[in-house]
Amino acid sequence: MKQVQKAILKNWSDLWGYKFLFIVWMLLASITAKTQETTLAVVGNQSGGIPAVMKLSELKSVLKAETQRWANGNRIVIALMRPNTTVGKTTSSKLYDMSGDELNKFWMSLVFQGKAPPPKFFNTTSELEDYVAQNPGAIGVIDRPLANNDVKIIAIDGKTQFSL
């Protein structure tokens, strides 16, 4: 009987050891996932009348074409990374609350209804920044600004880079 009790206690303690290791592994995995989370940055044309600071709610309104002109009257031009890029996926999920496919359908619907011009989509951040620099009123979302003095970094809720 004592041997059975010892065997049960040994198996029980081994099981607790595995549970402890599993919990530690899960905590480390969640911390690693947080540190790998893509941050976003917003860039705008230097002379397009784009504010240097925006609230997140204002940014979302601009990106969803609810606001179509800046305070100076310039038309807002939206530049986004393609939804199949890491930054594009993050932008779709965090700023639009949509998947990449849903984002494409959202914009096709707005364009088809004549409510907004389509955004410009890019494969690289350098292409996006160049486009924003050359188009007054243009605003774009990237992961981190490059060393490009032709665009201005727009602070969102006081931060030049943010993650949601």
Average pLDDT over residues 98-111: 95
Q: Is 49 helix (H, G, I), strand (E, B) or coil?
A: coil
Q: What SS3 string covers 96-133? A: CCCCHHHHHHHHHHHHHCCCCCCCEEECCHHHHHHHHH
User: What is the model's pLDDT at position 6?
Assistant: 58
Give the pLDDT confidence of 35-64 residue by residue, as tens digits: 356 789 999 999 878 999 999 999 999 999
Of 33-37, 136-140, 141-145, 160-164, the least confident? 33-37
Neighbours of 2 (CB within 10 A): 6
Q: What is the pLDDT of residues 53-100, one digit of tens each?
A: 999 999 999 999 999 999 999 999 999 999 999 999 999 999 999 999
pLDDT given at position 24: 47
- Within 10 A of 80 (CB to CB), how many other CB atoms are there? 24
- CA gap 122, 128 in Å, rounded: 6
pLDDT band at 163 (very low <50, low <70, confident <90, very high): confident
To the nearest 10°, the Cα dihedral for 92, 34, 147, 83?
Answer: -20
Provide the whole-model pTM: 0.75
